Amino acid sequence: TERTLVIVKPDGVARNLVGEVLRRVEAKGYSIVALELRTADTDLLARHYAEHEDKPFFASLVEFMVSGPVVAAIVEGHGVIEGFRSLAGSTKPTSAAPGTIRGDLGREWGSAVVQNIVHGSDSPESAAREIGLWFPAL
């Protein structure tokens, strides 16, 4: 079976939405196989979001992601990479469909940063790379 890296971002932890996100993951039938609450450092986030390093929002994105604790999880299940992206919804909370995590819970006001609650790996290559970054022992 497939694995993906899910992160409940600082906005999700600060708003007490960790259980709500994990509930949706488990209700879909996926399994949590590793789970950790931690405040990441800039080096880890810069590597995590390396594909975005030339984007105008890169610095504020990294700053936001280290601004408080996050919950990182390895989630396992058939087709979970695509499946979790579907549960999460599209990047912008304003246009994300109702019923998705970002559509139901995300915000993009009151901050320069898109506060979209969760991250999910976007391909098998990204999942392997990101799991290696966040859970180097696994």
Q: Which residues are near ligand GTP by CB under 6 A?
A: 52, 57, 61, 91, 113-114, 116, 119-120, 122
Residue whose CB is less far from ligand GTP, 57 or 97: 57
Q: Phi and psi at residue 31, in whole multiples of 5°? A: -110, 140
Burial 38-53 (b: 16+ CB within 10 A, else e): eebeeebbbebbeeee
Residue whose CB is less far from ligand GTP, 77 or 120: 120
Question: Which residues of this protein are in contact with Mg ion, per CB under 5 A?
Answer: 122
Q: Is 119 a catalytic residue?
A: yes
For residue 120, list its beta bridge partners. 6
Least separation, in Å, of the C-beta of 91 and Mg ion?
A: 8
Sheet bearing 31-38, strands edge to edge: 31-38, 70-77, 2-8, 118-120
20 binds, among ligand GTP, Mg ion, none (CB under 5 to 8 A by kind): none
Determine if residue 57 is labeled as part of a ligand binding site: yes
Determine if residue 129 is labeled as part of a ligand binding site: no
Least separation, in Å, of the C-beta of 119 and ligand GTP?
A: 4
Determine if residue 24 is labeled as part of a ligand binding site: no
Residue whose CB is less far from ligand GTP, 91 or 94: 91
Q: What angle, 0 to 180 degrees and rounded to 10, lies between the N-to-C axes of helices 18-27 and 80-88? A: 130
Q: Which are the catalytic amino acids? A: 119
Bind-site residues for ATP: 9, 57, 85, 91, 102, 116
